[in-house]
Amino acid sequence: MKRRESTIEPMPISLSPPAPVMSPVHQGEATHCPYCALQCGMYVSGGIGEAAGGTLTITPRHDIPANAGGLCQKGWTAGELLTGGVRLTTPLARASRTSPLVPVSWEEALDRIAGAIRETQARHGADAVAVFGGGGLTNEKAYQLGKFARVALRTSQIDYNGRFCMSSAAAAANRAFGMDRGLPFPITDLAEADAVMMVGGNVAETMPPFLRHLNNALIVVDPRDTRTARQATLHLRVTPGTDLALALGLLHIAITEGYADQDYIAARTTGFPAVRESVAAWWPERVERITGVPVARMREAVHLLGGAGKAMILTGRGAEQHSKGVDTVTAFINLALALGLPGRAGSGYGCVTGQGNGQGGREHGQKADQLPGYRRIDDPAARAHVAGVWGVDPDELPGPGRSAYELLDALGTDGGAKALLVFGSNPVVSAPRASHVAGRLAALDLLVVSDFVLSETAAMADVVLPTTQWAEEHGTMTNLEGRVLLRRQAVAPPSGVRSDLAIISALAARLGHDEGFSADPGTVFDELRRASAGGVADYSGITYERIAAETGVFWPAPSQDHPGTPRPFLDRFPTPDGRARFLPVEHRPVAEEVDEDYPYYLTTGRVLAHYQSGAQTRRVAALNEAAPEPFVELHTDLAEHLGVASGDLVRVSSRRGFAEAVAKVGRGLRHDTVFMPFHWEGANRLTNPALDPVSRMPEFKVCAVNVERAGSQPSDRGEDA
């Protein structure tokens, strides 16, 4: 892996005189951070043109509860994305697969795309054109992309990178509660909890201001001593891929020690007896052998949760990105239900959504099986409603398509798509078994990427469309609480770029749809409100004006005089009988166990300075300085055994590929596990695309690898090239 040279100027944010952090004075345009699902409020002031002096200042907002005046380094430096010289400002295209990308006009680029779409669909059918979206897109874009696929392209082949993030937690919450709203309570409720259990989440790196909301006992379940784990009251250092067994053991203990809340179970749930019987087979000593977590620590965790007046259980990708992610989350929801937590103020279960609009992005139809308002695409009533808003015959709407990895895996094959439009995603870095995915992309007749930087995926494209980004456009984002926020435009976009909405509008027009694809975010949002009306995620009562006045509105908000719903489960659960559902689940082994050839577990994750595939943050000088390159974290004893010291280049290989990165040796993780961050190309060449049977989530969080010094005998075990 090459060390990336930074070619961008230092950020033009003034440090001196210091920005008055606590000042109540209006600091500029009130908007939100471009990165994670916390969607910290920030002011952007100054401008990027010469008239404005070329400086942009970012300061945190105090009126947004999620950050309440805090920002991490990613947020503070986000202005560099607006001013740096790495922006794409003209469409690019290549004449053939072997030709270089060269600037072309918008007309030429759009005509070429529309022509290729028509030709591909004429030869291979509507499903030969696919769309791949992203969880960072605004609600307006996510909605419009889904509509564009179903109405203009008439393809079933649309999915998005949120499949790789939130799908397991979403499926588990839907089947237990009848609703998937990440945190079904305001984030400020966390401060009231006497104990919080965080399973497979490292918020200290991924969304640092989140920690400001934690006041009391914190239990962290993680194979690594993450920054979050180091701040925990109790850290359960679980074997990768065994969180499900741990949850079953914790519930076993909770029941036998009398922590099950019988009154709550009787009044608010169904299905407890079957779950109680199923966990009778998961006594703690058995679970200890599978998870490596000592029985005594499990009991401590249950005592902390069960003895707390108010408690919360939260899951992150560490628990969810598995081929059994849905059942793992279900097992933790079962624990939460047995303790009587969900639907009580100050208590509950929640998942910590990752991407900026990871919540809204999973509600409005860029998912293969979904229509706006969190409706199912195979539900006739949902189809009729949405078709009505869209002015089409319900029978014309395609059915469910392939999930993200399956869609990518099929590209260029007989049954798969031949053309792909990518918006706001970088699957060459972020998809599992990434070398194979890159190979599938190369097999396409047409790859179109809309992005504001030349990401690794954009660099492979036939046509690249330069688009506007966060503070250059209006749009709504739904943060990890389910609070719909207004991300305002703060600066003018550079000349030459167009918004995704404008791109979709122009393509739709070329495909014969002059109407129905507005480029104006407000118009699109109003249509989204109508399309979502009556759905689980009902936005019909939410307007830009309300969001501005109320600093965010919690969905569902079915009418403009409805106050929004901060805590949707207080009185009843949105299931047919109003009760939450216990579901028995069983532990099963990881998809790929360690063996003699691949004797160590690989787990992947994030570092503070970078976001997702790093396409944005790797182009910010201060973040590159803080975390300049990928690394392999391994235990001191393993390093000793391998003859590796910190700073040495090591090669990590799996059945799917290999990656090289510098070693970071320490005692912060288990002896049998190595860790790699996935913000650079490399980690995902190794990961396993084994899918969860329900959510179709790949098993990002554990696979079997070998580790050796780079330059020693190269391993050749028939890996993917």
Partner 1 sequence: MKLVVIGNGMAGGRLADEVRARDKDIDMTVFGAETRRPYNRVLLSNVLAGTASPEQVRLPAQTEGVTTRLGVTVTAIDPESRTILTDDGGREPYDVLVLATGSEPVVPPIPGATRAIAFRTMDDCHRILQAAATATGAVVVGGGLLGVEAARGLAGRGMPVTLLHLAGHLMERQLDPEAGLVLGEALTGLGVTVRTGARVTAIHAHGVELATGEILASELVVLACGVRPLVSLARDAGLEVNRGVVVDDRMRTSDPAIYAIGECAQHDGTVYGLVAPAWEQAAVVADLITGADRAARYRGSRLVTRLKARSVELASMGEAHLTEDPAEAVEVVRFTHRARGIYRKLVIRNDRLVGAILLGDAPTVGTLTQLYDRGGQLPGDPAGLLFPGLEHATPADSPVRMPDSARVCECNNVTKGRIRACWEAGARDTAAVAAATRATTGCGSCRDAVEGIIGWLCEQEEEVRA
What's the rounded Cα separation, in Å, for the pair 620 and 430? 19
x/- mask, partner 1, residues 620-639, rule CB under 8 A, reads --x--xx---------xx--
Number of H helices, E strands in the chain: 24, 30
Tell me if 645 contacts partner 1 by CB under 8 A.
no
364, 147 contact by CB (below 8 A):
no
Whole-angstrom distance, CA of residue 527 vs CA of residue 520: 11
Backbone φ and ψ of 43, nearest 5°: -100, 140
DSSP state of 12: -
Q: Which of residues 571-600 bind partner 1 (CB under 8 A)?
A: 584, 594
The size of the interface with partner 1 (CB under 8 A), counted in residues, is: 62
Name residues contacting partner 1, limited to 46-105 (CB under 8 A).
60, 69-73, 76
CA angle 18, 24, 30 (to 5 degrees): 90
Tokens of 721: 């090239």
Give burial (CB, 10 Å; 0-12/13-18/19+) of 36: buried
* Distance from the Cα of residue 437 to its chain's centroid: 19
Footprint on residues 295-354 left by partner 1 (CB under 8 A)? 295-297
Classify residue 149 by its DSSP letter.
Answer: I
Quote the distance between the C-alpha of residue 205 and its chain's center: 15
Place of tokens 């480029």: 519
Contact residue for partner 1 among 2, 5, 16, 721 (CB under 8 A): 16
Q: Does 15 bind partner 1 (CB under 8 A)?
A: yes
Q: Which is nearer to partner 1, 208 or 398 (CB)?
A: 208
Residue with tokens 């103020």: 345
Residue list 220-239, contact with partner 1 (CB under 8 A):
225, 227, 231, 239
| Tokens, residue 32 | 């939100």
Q: Which residues pair with 408 in a beta bridge?
A: none
Task: Name which of 97 and 289 has its Cβ closer to partner 1.
Answer: 289
Part in contact with partner 1 (CB under 8 A); list of ranges 159-167, 191-199, 205-213, 329-337: 205-213
**What minimum distance in Å lies between the beta carbon of 622 and partner 1?**
7
Element (H, E) at 291: helix 284-291
Q: How far is the CB of 253 from partner 1 (least distance, A)?
A: 10
Q: Is residue 208 part of the contact set for partner 1 (CB under 8 A)?
A: yes
Instruction: Assess 713 for contact with partner 1 (CB under 8 A).
Output: no
From residue 439 to residue 478, the character string flagging contacts with partner 1 as x (rule: CB under 8 A) and all else as - is ----------------------------------------
- Is residue 426 near partner 1 by the rule CB under 8 A? no
- How far is 281 from 562, CA to CA, in rounded Å? 47
Task: Return the range that interacts with partner 1 (CB under 8 A); candidates 286-294, 338-346, 370-378, 681-689.
Answer: 286-294
Query: Which residues fall within 8 angstroms of residue 298, CB to CB, at 6 or more apart?
Result: 236, 246, 249, 250, 253, 284, 287, 288
Applying CB under 8 A, which part among 191-199, 271-279, 426-434, 544-552 lies near partner 1? 271-279
Closest by CA to 134, choosing from 361, 300, 384, is: 361
| Residue among 237 and 483 whose Cβ is closer to partner 1 | 237
Please pick, from the candidates 111, 550, 672, 719, the single residue that binds partner 1 as defined by CB under 8 A.
672
State which of residues 393, 641, 647, 711 lies at the interface with partner 1 (CB under 8 A).
641
Closest separation in Å from C-beta 18 to partner 1: 4
Helix axis angle, 500-510 to 139-147, nearest 10°: 10
Q: Answer yes or no whether residue 274 interacts with partner 1 by CB under 8 A.
A: yes
* DSSP helix, strand, coil percent of the chain (3-state; round to 5): 35, 20, 50
Q: Residue 111 forms beta bridges with which residues?
A: none
Which range binds partner 1 by CB under 8 A, 166-174, 292-300, 305-313, 611-619? 292-300
Q: Which of 278, 315, 330, 499 binds partner 1 (CB under 8 A)?
A: 278
Tokens (6 digits) for 628: 């300049």
Q: What is the largest CA-CA distance in the chain?
A: 71
- Do residues 376 and 370 lie in contact, with contact meaning Cβ atoms separated by under 8 Å? yes
User: From the CB of residue 637, how many other CB atoms can be counted at a distance below 10 Å?
Assistant: 12
| Binding piece for partner 1, criterion CB under 8 A, among 143-151, 269-277, 409-417, 558-566 | 269-277
Among 2, 5, 18, 549, binds partner 1 (CB under 8 A): 18
* Shortest reach from residue 599's CB to partner 1, in Å: 8
Rounded least distance, CB 296 to partner 1, Å: 6
Q: Which of 12, 65, 103, 292 binds partner 1 (CB under 8 A)?
A: 292
Decide whether 207 or 377 has the Cβ nearer to partner 1. 207
- Which residues contact partner 1 (rule: CB under 8 A)? 15-16, 18-22, 60, 69-73, 76, 203-205, 208-212, 225, 227, 231, 239, 255-257, 274, 276-278, 280-281, 283, 285-286, 288-289, 291-297, 584, 594, 608-609, 622, 625-626, 636-637, 640-641, 667, 670-672
